[in-house]
Structure 1
């Protein structure tokens, strides 16, 4: 009797403390249950262009698009349940028959060869527990399975499983797999494609159709056979699916079509710690059609420059950048930061600070016009010397020519250095310097060399400042991102910053002259048949940099070429022969896909014209200019 009493007491104690332990474990696992209840997996963020086309995917550790349960095809559920857990809708988290069969099979083989896990248990393994084959972990798994079944519906469990499971090739979840392997939405999948995806969880790498298509098809056929045996598909469906061999795509996860642009987006939104994991949709102003054309004409221009300069690959450091914006909104429609992102991720469009040469001159003349001068104002184009013997500077025109007395219109068309220096002297250097800074330039020194382009700027800086002309007196901050949409549908809209500097009438005075730069000046190779084009070339000392800054009524393009080592690109025409033709090719290219683009500049009301000696001059009603101060001698030269 004492032995029996001891046995009963011990058994009771074991059961009591076992139950107590189970209760303790049950309570200790509440945080894990909550994790699955409030399931928040990593989601891939997508960058879309202005027409909602994919520019790139950006992601963290897991590439995933979330699919709500009602997005998942019923056939996907049937295929998964058929092969992984036939009694899923009948058990309460644990399939005791399956566990018993697995134990017998493992004992027969003398090793662990089969598990009896339900889909609920598999979900727990994927999201909460490790895959260690210990008794304690198995107990926790069983307890969690029961808790999850009590907390979530079967549909919620399936939704989480089908979004969380790894399906090979970097894809997590069935939505990512459908788009990745087959370029289809879930509702577009065929029965065979569904079976191929359903076969992946068992061995994702082995059954990856991009690596082992035969094994993937064989596994899918086995699943189809199982579904047919269960009576879940008809004979005709079964035979049709068996015969199908779907087209499989081996895609990179990022699918990045504009890497320099994507880097800019990531940098601009770096204040978001979950940018790559929270499933944002980022809409950008980029137009992938424009981007493709820009890349094509840019590469063509690059090869032309190589040919002209006879550069050998071993000594070639030539590179460049191109930025396309909408003239009236500042939206960035295309952007190239270099000739080959794979060789250099350095974004020359935003980071390359280079001398801008004669592209500064339109701003000098705009300031003069706003100060009361007109395109017909006459100015001497004669030599000047500055400094002393120790610091002597004698600027020259291209070709060392002198043109005598010329109009401001003529001086800007032909980019005359000496006339520009004399204009600055007439307006006042301090006023000119302050105007240059107000436009957004940042001179490193305060001397006359800056008015001929010694100051440095990135192409993006010129994309901003040249909007002074293309946007009729209002400078626009180039805008890349248009909207940021969070996973809960919250929308943040990005607006273009703008600042008014002059009137449309005054800005048109420069625009009309820049049209002549393209029609009859250094920008002739930027001409486009049937379209008004205004622009300015620029070539810096020693031919280190070649620029063209041009615009049509709708589109502004900034192009720069130069060596990364800041060496000379050679005496090959710079902005005229290398860069200006790229502009022309680009505008002609986009007109083919967007023929509705505006082709003519509209002369603002309040701008007048007069012909003198067969030359047409535009001018404004200068009596309305504020603080107008013009000497009597100067007034004789104005209409």
Structure 2
């Protein structure tokens, strides 16, 4: 056996093996270091990219964020229309009815507390975004598996409603948050809360607390109780679901929740809580019609829209001061509602029968009352300004006035006799007839107008020419087109009651035309005057001639066809108008202070019935209105202008009245001094 001390080959040390192991380790470490450096580089690059992206996004958002300044908040404001005494007639608005912007001092403390309690209890501690609220909302939403709670602060809600659209995107939400921070830096909590309460929607068209307090309670905000504040504070979350009118049970539950939060947060005492909880707010009925004198208001509105455009009129918070006197407006509505013709033809059975009344101040053209129809709900067609109707004999004063302007006098005579005219083109013969189908021989102008004879009026227009009468009527303020024919003297033209009233005002105003005026002043939301309107006056006929017509028309009321409009103790002048087949009935009349026109007829022209003349149909409601309206004015006579004198004359002869003249033919009539009658009537012996 051979023994050997040589080591096992596996145990033999080989230095080359150590070198190989060290090399491998170095390589592994090298690769690890390489990957570490590479990872670091990539991480650094990623950070740069992400940072750049964030900066870019923030920059992009920032460029889209509106700059909030004191002038940025200009919410839509309701335009208000007032009568001549400052009484509110109407509120004009689009979707947002925001009546006024309240200051912090005009908002009750309990209203502020109620809103904070139910909408944003950490309002006074956050900086525009409520992190606690967001976290809590996320947890509850995850637990529920759906969105059951939001976390928008009052500041965010204000930003969303006042400055942004309702778009639901991440970008808009990010901008909303940034703007909320911006608001919190710029404004105090009190200012933000005030802005919020002026902006937020309370349902039923009410934007802002002022409108809400008015619509629901008819109150100024400072008069709201704790219970009423709680009720209002609960609405904005969901104005339909929590409406006290549409969903009163939901609203009651919500009000109780608001009160509970208020006492929990220490805004009210337990005693106040119990009192408020037991109090049931009395919500008033929502008014379907938002304005008084609707025909007048729409007439004013249409003028404003044409001049200023819809956006400013409905959203600009204008204050419109008008000429209307609401006292007189109520008298007009009552007088027309009680008109005998309307009682005979009730609106339920005869909706097509309508009427209109308009009253002006002849000294300045101010429209004091306007009744455009029986029912504004059924028809918004304004019969004062839009209905062109034949005036019948109420046009005759323009023919007689034109004759006076040509030098004729009230005592001059025209022969009332059969006369016929042949149309040169059609060869048709027209023979005008008087209402009583009689001829009256030689009659003075004053008697012919008093009795409303047709033939003398036709003879006068024939003598003057229709073209001259048309020119005169246009000078008097008539704007409608007129055909130059003889029948114009009997009212064959078509005119609106408004232009007839304005033109009659020339007689009462001693020859001065004042165009109809409805708007006195327009102010913007800041009180700057946008327009202020003065009377547009122009002399269109001689004062003495206007005074003579006034006296002739006064005689028509006292002794003639207008006797149903006579008001004892008042100087009243006027003229009836009845068209063929009794289709239209008018009474146009005046006192020294007011000129009023009343008109009746079917919207689709047809007869009112036999005997339904201007005096019997339009006279009584005209008188009923004027009796009440004139209670606001002192008793006075029509003036006697310079160069004129009043004489007691006989209507039959036109001369100074004598003892032999019948009493019903003796009148007081103005004449020019140089043309006054100097000879006495020899009544019973001669009228020459």
- TM-score (norm: length of structure 2): 0.84
Match of 1:462 in 2: 500
1:352 shift after superposition:
1.2
1:348 to 374, 383, 407: 383
Match of 2:429 in 1: 392
1:426 shift after superposition:
4.8
Q: Is the 1:102–1:116 contact (alpha carbons within 8 Å) kept by the matching residues of 2?
A: yes
Deviation track 1:420-473 (CA, whole Å, cap 9, x = no partner) reads 233344556554443233223345321211122111111111011111112221
1:324 shift after superposition:
1.2
Q: Is the 2:367–2:518 contact (alpha carbons within 8 Å) kept by the matching residues of 1?
A: yes
Distance 2:416 2:166 in 1: 83
Distance 1:558 1:536 in 2: 10
Distance 2:215 2:163 in 1: 26
- Which shows bigger deviation, 84-93 or 554-563? 84-93
Deviation track 1:366-404 (CA, whole Å, cap 9, x = no partner) reads 222233322222221122121268221111111211111
Q: Is the 1:374–1:638 contact (alpha carbons within 8 Å) kept by the matching residues of 2?
A: no
Matched, 1:292 2:330: yes
Q: Is the 2:593–2:633 contact (alpha carbons within 8 Å) kept by the matching residues of 1?
A: no
Deviation track 1:184-226 (CA, whole Å, cap 9, x = no partner) reads 1122222221221111121211221122334323322332232
Structure 1 residues 619 and 524: alpha-carbon distance in aligned structure 2, compared to 1, 3 A threshold: closer
Q: Is the 1:476–1:496 contact (alpha carbons within 8 Å) kept by the matching residues of 2?
A: yes
Structure 1 residues 624 and 241: alpha-carbon distance in aligned structure 2, compared to 1, 3 A threshold: farther
Match of 1:631 in 2: none
Match of 2:439 in 1: 402
1:14 shift after superposition:
5.8
Match of 1:634 in 2: none
Distance 1:534 1:250 in 2: 45
Distance 2:189 2:687 in 1: 85
Which structure exhibits the higher relative contact order, with contacts defined as CA atoms closer than 8 Å and separated by 6 or more residues?
A: 1
Match of 1:416 in 2: 453
Structure 1 residues 79 and 316: alpha-carbon distance in aligned structure 2, compared to 1, 3 A threshold: closer
Structure 1 residues 307 and 246: alpha-carbon distance in aligned structure 2, compared to 1, 3 A threshold: closer
Matches within 5 A, 1:329-478: 329-387=364-422, 390-427=427-464, 431-441=468-478, 442-478=480-516
1:155 shift after superposition:
3.5
Match of 1:9 in 2: 44
Distance 1:131 1:508 in 2: 67
Distance 1:311 1:182 in 2: 36
- Which shows bigger deviation, 387-396 or 54-63? 387-396
Match of 1:616 in 2: 667
Q: Which runs of 5+ in 2 are unaligned?
A: 1-32, 650-656, 677-685
Structure 1 residues 131 and 376: alpha-carbon distance in aligned structure 2, compared to 1, 3 A threshold: closer
Distance 2:223 2:634 in 1: 37
Q: Is the 2:329–2:370 contact (alpha carbons within 8 Å) kept by the matching residues of 1?
A: yes
Deviation track 1:38-59 (CA, whole Å, cap 9, x = no partner) reads 0222211111112222211111
Distance 2:125 2:197 in 1: 19
- TM-score (norm: length of structure 1): 0.90
Distance 2:207 2:497 in 1: 40
Match of 2:307 in 1: 271
Matched, 1:589 2:624: no
1:522 shift after superposition:
0.9
Deviation track 1:100-147 (CA, whole Å, cap 9, x = no partner) reads 111111122122111222111122232445566655444333223223
Matched, 1:126 2:161: yes
- Which shows bigger deviation, 126-135 or 351-360? 126-135
Match of 2:520 in 1: 482
Distance 1:259 1:179 in 2: 20
1:169 shift after superposition:
1.1
Deviation track 1:557-582 (CA, whole Å, cap 9, x = no partner) reads 11111122222222133201110001
Matches within 5 A, 1:18-33: 18-31=53-66, 33=67
Q: Secondary structure at the match of 1:350?
A: coil
Structure 1 residues 211 and 430: alpha-carbon distance in aligned structure 2, compared to 1, 3 A threshold: closer
1:18 shift after superposition:
4.8
Matches within 5 A, 1:67-466: 67-70=101-104, 71-129=106-164, 135-252=170-287, 255-269=290-304, 270-273=306-309, 274-301=312-339, 304-305=340-341, 317-387=352-422, 390-427=427-464, 431-441=468-478, 442-466=480-504
Q: Which runs of 5+ in 1 are unaligned?
A: 626-636
Q: CA RMSD in A?
A: 2.7
Distance 1:225 1:311 in 2: 55
Match of 1:629 in 2: none
1:280 shift after superposition:
0.6
Q: Is the 1:119–1:161 contact (alpha carbons within 8 Å) kept by the matching residues of 2?
A: yes
Q: Secondary structure at the match of 1:399?
A: coil
Distance 1:7 1:176 in 2: 61
Distance 2:168 2:639 in 1: 77
Distance 2:458 2:494 in 1: 19
Q: Secondary structure at the match of 2:402?
A: helix
Aligned positions, number: 622
- Which shows bigger deviation, 50-59 or 427-436? 427-436
- Which shows bigger deviation, 442-451 or 126-135? 126-135
Q: Is the 1:291–1:335 contact (alpha carbons within 8 Å) kept by the matching residues of 2?
A: yes
Distance 1:386 1:473 in 2: 33
Match of 1:568 in 2: 607
Distance 2:207 2:137 in 1: 28
Distance 1:127 1:431 in 2: 62
- Which shows bigger deviation, 403-412 or 320-329? 320-329
Distance 1:258 1:357 in 2: 28
Structure 1 residues 330 and 146: alpha-carbon distance in aligned structure 2, compared to 1, 3 A threshold: same
Higher Rg:
2
1:36 shift after superposition:
8.8
Match of 1:49 in 2: 83
Deviation track 1:211-260 (CA, whole Å, cap 9, x = no partner) reads 23343233223322322232222344333322322221232376122222
